[in-house]
Structure 1
Amino acid sequence: MMRQMSVWNSAGRRKVALAAVLSGLLGIGGCVGGDVPYGLPASDSQQTLAPQPAAPGPRLPATGEIVGSGATRVALLLPLSGEGNAARIAAELKNAAVLAMGDVGPEALELVIKDTSGTQEGAGAAAAQAVAEGSAAVLGPLFSANVRAATPALSSAGIPMIAFSSDRAAAAPGVYLNAFLPQGVVERTLRYATGQGVRSVVAILPNGPAGDIAEAEARRTLLSAGGDLTAVARYAYDNASVYEAVGSVADAVRAADAVFIPDGGTSPATIVSTMTESGIDLSQKKLLGTGQWTTANLGDPGLQGAWFADTDQGRVAGYRQRYQARFGAEPSLTSALAYDTVILVANIAKGAGGIPRNAIENPVGFSGYTGVFRFSRDGATERGYAVYEVRNGAAQIIDPAPTRFAGGS
């Protein structure tokens, strides 16, 4: 009998909501933590950085909670009084930033933490306030709508923003997203699979924006890697919808090399059981997923042998341990982005005397608790992910995350 889908009323919608929200540091080669060298190339790169000395005279007073006393002022915009989970996530991001400031030292930055209330109006007002107070850069906001609301004031003033939204559409020149963009995880999974001989893939995707993003990136990646997305089915979070989706691609699955199921929670096991109950032999098919599978029941027999890409969890474990020791709670992975970002801008400020865009766009990239990453000129983020295989009910790395980027020097 197929697994009951009633649990999807909460778990399924929570996964969709998370996808919507998510909709060093320092040069590669450094270790994570407070003693990470900034990673500019050793040659003439320093000459390209125009230090931005502090303006003479007294500094304007800042509004918000202030951490540190450095010459470079940076604002951190968070939904501290936001509704729902926003305030909880904001508190974690704030704690991560405080942890990072303890590592870089109070003289590295003056970090001004501002509450956006989780609204577009609040984000726009906080950004304008940061401009008026002479911030060299803005970190955050978290939600894509708030990022867009904060952009005009910062762009007109030439102040870079490093936000935490994973909505690729919110990025722009000077508006960088230090986030886990879903496109990157999909690409890593499918490029690894095609490198192992997978050519034809069927995708079974949830309705909504998360499914749209996964489908678009799957088509793009497979086309460039020599594979083919032979069929796509969509489902809602109920039994009838999943049965219908599986039935619509049953013949395509039988002819394909792999089935791509990017959703997490109960979705992978439920979809796989539906396929087997429908008479589809999956013994010669490779199951493919994403980092969302870390929320799935990897002990399910039907998921053994599957591949999916995700952040190197062993590396993140060091951050989680330090956070829990300091604040007494288990942090989310998202909060590690705030830690890495504060370390990043602190090290840029030390090397450049400000936060110039060409330092943020360093092609060598940066390395932090969340792995290696770099920003493109259009504001998007490229990250290094590991590939895992489900073995004996657990995820084990079969292709490690890269330690450097191709094309970086």
Structure 2
Amino acid sequence: MRQLGFVLGLGLLAGCQTQVPAGMPQQPQMQAAPQAIEAPSLTQNALPPASGEVLGQGSVRVALLLPLSAEGTSAQIGREFRNAAALAMEDVGQDTLQLVIKDTGRDAARVQAAASEAVLEGSSLVLGPIFAADVSAAAGVTRPAGKTMIAFSSDRNVAGSRVYLNSFLPGGVVTRTVSYASQNGVRSVLGFFANGPAGDLAEQAARTAIQANGGVMAASVRYDANEASIQQAAAAAVPVLMQADAILIPDGGPTPAAILGALRSNGADLANKRLLGTGQWTTANLSDPALQGAWFADSDQQRLTAFKARYQGKFGTAPTANAALAYDTVVMAGSVVKRFGAGGFANSVIEADSGYAGYAGVFRFEPDGTTQRGYAVYEVAPGGATRVVSPAPRSFSGS
């Protein structure tokens, strides 16, 4: 049962377009579990020196683990999260927190070393890492030490005891899309799901949402990301298409158009079939007439405008939507400290039923470590424009 909680406003409200990476990182091959590190017994005014970039002079220390020196896009993502955290510290107040940013690269040993430093330096909370394998590595240190971690991976498999994920989990947007459709006349859904863990999660979320609203899954078709596989999947779907009110395609990019084209080439009649998608459709060509009238769930994209403008004004480049997660989490941590002090990062506070409100919209942490988020539903209009048909919630029902 959830504890009664409160809403923490995270600065100016803004939001984001959901970006879920294609595929999901595999679990790392972990070495033997490290020995538990005992956190030092410290008063708030007796923090030891910290290793890493230090932002703020607060008496409560929070560590942020990022792959700043990794190769390729990992470092770019790390820098975005670092910058978003720095922006958050401007709103938190320099005297509220001492945020210590630690470079982990993408090496499990370095991740564990950074987590060990965070524990020994008296961090009350650990934020990050970003990637699933790194989260598992860090949790091998923070969990035995009794430290709570809020990471940013979209792989729910790494969530658990004392490990929360503030991320865009693939199932959330699927649930919102299907639930809205079911409540607006769609009773039977034909689903196309990519092979792999992300597709498994999307299919599970769709089935659960459809059944919860009294509908049925007419069929579930799986495919690989190549033309031959999509053609084969479409051919298998045609015989059951007449039983479906809607076609669900969670993947974005060229996939929705490719699947619809394959259905037509196999003789399918798509008239009167509602198309359903997710926030990944923002990477698709929405001006394609075939997608007109489709519904898809995503975060309230208007909210992201303020965040992007602030970030670009300070750092000179536009951030991705995921950077808003770092901002929201740092400000959440500062809000908890302002209200409860260094001891505020208890499960009952983090799992507050009323959740938190931030640039990425309202969110709350589940007891299993995953995140529930509030999404809007959009309809694709002629020319590729979108309009909101169901606004994102501003709070959680019953909170």
**Could you tell me the TM-score, scaled by structure 1's length?**
0.86
Give the direction of change, closer, same or farther, for the CA distance of 1:113–1:212 in structure 2 (3 Å limit). same
Please give the secondary structure, in 2, of the residue aligned with 1:157.
Answer: coil
Q: How does 1:324-363 map to 2 (within 5 A)?
A: 324-354=312-342, 355-357=344-346, 358-363=348-353
Q: What's the offset of the Cα at 1:353? A: 0.8
Contact 1:27 1:367 in 2 (8 A): no
Q: Which residue of 79, 83, 95 corresponds with 1:95?
A: 83
- In 2, Cα distance between the equivalents of 1:336 and 1:136? 22
Q: What's the offset of the Cα at 1:140? A: 0.3
Q: Which residue of 373, 388, 393 corresponds with 1:383?
A: 373
Please give the secondary structure, in 2, of the residue aligned with 1:333.
Answer: coil
Please give the secondary structure, in 2, of the residue aligned with 1:249.
Answer: helix
Give the direction of change, closer, same or farther, for the CA distance of 1:331–1:56 in structure 2 (3 Å limit). closer
Q: What's the offset of the Cα at 1:407? A: 3.3
Q: What's the offset of the Cα at 1:281? A: 1.6
- Match of 2:390? 399
**CA offset digits 1:317-362 (Å, max 9, x no partner):** 1101111111110100111000000000001011111142222111
- In 2, Cα distance between the equivalents of 1:260 and 1:119? 38
Q: What's the offset of the Cα at 1:56? A: 6.3
Identity level (%):
51
Q: Which residue of 47, 55, 69 corresponds with 1:59?
A: 47
- Match of 1:151? 139
Contact 1:33 1:103 in 2 (8 A): no
Q: What's the offset of the Cα at 1:64? A: 0.4
Contact 2:10 2:356 in 1 (8 A): no
- Match of 1:6? none
Please give the secondary structure, in 2, of the residue aligned with 1:156.
Answer: coil
Q: Which amino acid aligns with 1:199?
A: R
- Match of 1:32? 11
* Aligned CA-pair RMSD: 1.7
Q: Which amino acid aligns with 2:303?
A: R
Q: How does 1:7-406 map to 2 (within 5 A)?
A: 28=7, 30=9, 32-33=11-12, 55=43, 58-354=46-342, 355-357=344-346, 358-392=348-382, 393-406=384-397
- In 1, Cα distance between the equivalents of 2:186 and 2:69? 47
Contact 1:242 1:271 in 2 (8 A): yes
Q: What's the offset of the Cα at 1:176? A: 0.7
Q: What's the offset of the Cα at 1:29? A: 7.9
Structure with the larger RCO, 1 or 2 (CA within 8 Å, 6+ apart): 2
Q: What's the offset of the Cα at 1:54? A: 6.1
Contact 1:185 1:310 in 2 (8 A): yes
Contact 2:56 2:93 in 1 (8 A): yes
Q: Which amino acid aligns with 1:207?
A: N
**CA offset digits 1:133-154 (Å, max 9, x no partner):** 0000000000111111111321
**Deviating more after overlay: 83-92 vs 352-361:** 352-361
Please give the secondary structure, in 1, of the residue aligned with 2:201.
Answer: helix
Q: What's the offset of the Cα at 1:237? A: 2.4
Contact 2:8 2:355 in 1 (8 A): no
Please give the secondary structure, in 1, of the residue aligned with 2:144.
Answer: helix
**CA offset digits 1:264-312 (Å, max 9, x no partner):** 0000111112222322121210100011000000000000000010011
Gaps (5+ residues) in structure 2?
14-40
- Match of 1:9? none
Contact 1:205 1:233 in 2 (8 A): yes
Q: What's the offset of the Cα at 1:262? A: 0.4
Contact 2:365 2:372 in 1 (8 A): yes
- In 1, Cα distance between the equivalents of 2:278 and 2:288? 16
Q: What's the offset of the Cα at 1:238? A: 2.2
Q: Which amino acid aligns with 1:362?
A: A
- In 2, Cα distance between the equivalents of 1:150 and 1:227? 41
Gaps (5+ residues) in structure 1?
1-25, 35-52
